[in-house]
Amino acid sequence: MLTAQTSVGAGTVTAQSGSVSDTAAVNVVPGPVASIIVSPNPVTVVVGTTQPFTAAAYDQYGNTVPGATFTWSSNVGLIDIGGMLTAQTMPVSGTVMATSGTAWGTASVTVVAGMLDHITVTPDPASAQVGGSLIFTAIAYDIYNNQLTGYGFSWATNIGSVDTAGNFIAGNLAATGWVRATNGTATGQATVIVTPGPLHHIVVAPDPATVIVGQAQLFTATGFDQYDNAISGVSFAWTTDIGSVVDGLFTAQATPAVGSVTATSGSVSGFASVNLISGAIHHIIVLPNPATVVAGQTQLFAATAYDILDNVIIGALFAWTTNVGTVSGGLFTAQGAVATGTVTATSGSVSGSASVTIIPGALHHISVTPNPATVSVGAARLFTARGYDQYNNLITGLTFAWTTNIGSVDSDGVFTARTYPGTGTVSATSER
């Protein structure tokens, strides 16, 4: 009975009796798989990346068992039949296991976060009054949104100042901007809305204002903080000492005066100076209006100035203009071309206009088309006639009498050529 050694190897067994012996060759081989070693162990793997593992099988005496096959499993990712692990996308600690029969071996695996991919800055969006302060926080993440620690950030803003710790102080301009945190090529940004501060002063416009007695003028009020940022949503109480004002609409009193229109919100007020004047020209009427004038002909226009109460203002002087001819002292001469325009009388900054329509004059000449025309013997051809005044303005509504010396032509201008060649004319006549 041979009891094999515990290590693999090759040898012999010899039997001898007296002087006679015989030898048998013996090969000691590994026993069944009793243990498995998985490598590397331990190992750190970045989320989402791969790591190859190998397994070695041993019998109970530590002899390598060649040709062993393994079944792989892991609780920290996916591992294929060849031992290639693809780590999960969240940091975790676990194992990779190789199994052969009833034997198994493991390797400890720590899945760690990846490299910096992006940065978030909070709060976002954020709001602060001009000159106010906020604390911003930046957090670094890998590509799988795993939070990273130990990263420092460079801070920047376009709407105030921010220190190396993310402490932000708003500037004096009310606007929308950003605060950024940067590490390498990664940048995170938060939107910052800088709002105006408390009401400091009120501006009323127009200032100064000149208003005709009895007339209305709309005033507007705008509230500002100490840095001249406009504040929206402010409500105002309106007052005046030279008329009445409701929601900024001022109505002047009936007598000239100097005073003000005031807008108030809380304990803050602003005002505009107002000068009430009378006797100025309010409107001008030009007659006749409308007027119809033949091209090239004249028409006398008269202008009258009125005050706000429609009283005639005697002695007003007018500058006359037109866009459809010439005018001097109210005497208008129409241009040669048919058109619609105006004759305007102006005094100071006030103007009045009359509408003017220039119409064609008397029939001066007729155009027959086509001209020249070539018509086959016995064939028909339509001719068209148009009448014009001396300025070549087309006159509509004309009727024409048609004649020819080389065939026949009906009342609609349809010409029928005679049956033999020749040269002649087709004529259109109108008695207008």
Band of pLDDT at residue 5, cut at 50, 70 and 90:
low
Q: What percent of the chain has pLDDT over 70?
A: 93
Window from 15-19, 90-94, 221-225, 339-343 with minimum mean pLDDT: 15-19
Nearest CA-CA partner of 133 in 111, 103, 157, 114: 157
Domain end position, chosen among 112, 132, 157: 112
Nearest CA-CA partner of 177 in 106, 125, 131: 125
122 and 108 part of one domain: no
- CA–CA distance from 157 to each of 132, 137, 152, 154, 170 (Å)? 14, 14, 17, 11, 9
pLDDT in the model for residue 67: 87
pLDDT in the model for residue 204: 98
Residue 137: which CATH number? Answer: 2.60.40.10
389 and 345 part of one domain: no
pLDDT in the model for residue 167: 97
Q: 3-state class of 367 per DSSP? A: strand
Nearest CA-CA partner of 385 in 415, 428, 432, 430: 428
Domain end position, chosen among 180, 195, 210: 195
Could you read off the pLDDT of 121-171 as tens digits, one per residue?
999 999 999 999 999 999 999 999 999 999 999 999 999 999 999 999 999
Residue 106: which CATH number? Answer: 2.60.40.1080
Positive or negative: CA dihedral 305, 307, 308, 309: negative
Could you read off the pLDDT of 290-305 as tens digits, one per residue?
999 999 999 999 999 9
What's the average model confidence in pLDDT over 173-179? 97
258 and 183 part of one domain: no
**DSSP single-letter state for residue 312:** B
347 and 387 part of one domain: no
What's the average model confidence in pLDDT over 272-282? 85
Its pTM stands at 0.55
At residue 223, φ and ψ (nearest 5 deg) are -90, 145
pLDDT in the model for residue 14: 57
Tokens for 43, please give them. Answer: 């190992």
13 and 107 part of one domain: yes
**Spatial separation of the C-alpha atoms in residues 350 and 337, rounded to whole Å:** 29
**Spatial separation of the C-alpha atoms in residues 59 and 72, rounded to whole Å:** 19
- CA–CA distance from 9 to each of 6, 14, 30, 49 (Å)? 9, 17, 9, 43
What's the average model confidence in pLDDT over 28-51? 88
Exposure string for 210-239, b = 16+ CB within 10 A, e = fewer: ebbbbeebebebbbbbeeebebeebebebe
Tokens for 129, please give them. Answer: 């009054």
Nearest CA-CA partner of 86 in 62, 56, 111, 61: 111
Overall domain count for the chain = 5
Which residues contact residue 322 at a Cβ distance below 8 angstroms, ignoring those fewer than 6 apart? Answer: 332, 341, 342, 343, 344, 356
71 and 31 part of one domain: yes
**Spatial separation of the C-alpha atoms in residues 133 and 420, rounded to whole Å:** 105
Confidence check: pLDDT of 229 > 90: yes
Confidence check: pLDDT of 59 > 70: yes
345 and 418 part of one domain: no
Per-residue DSSP letters for 58-105?
A: E-TTS-B-TT---EEEESSEEE-TTSEEEE-SS-EEEEEEEEETTEEE
pLDDT in the model for residue 28: 47
Contact 192, 127 (CB under 8 A): yes
108 and 31 part of one domain: yes
89 and 31 part of one domain: yes
**Spatial separation of the C-alpha atoms in residues 319 and 49, rounded to whole Å:** 89
265 and 300 part of one domain: no
Confidence check: pLDDT of 8 > 70: no
173 and 230 part of one domain: no
Mean pLDDT across the chain? 92
**Spatial separation of the C-alpha atoms in residues 176 and 178, rounded to whole Å:** 7
Domain end position, chosen among 313, 344, 359: 359
Which residues contact residue 291 at a Cβ distance below 8 angstroms, ignoring those fewer than 6 apart? Answer: 299, 301, 343, 354, 355, 356, 357
205 and 188 part of one domain: no
Confidence check: pLDDT of 412 > 70: yes
Could you read off the pLDDT of 197-219 as tens digits, one per residue?
999 999 999 999 998 878 899 99
- Containing domain of residue 128, as a range? 118-195
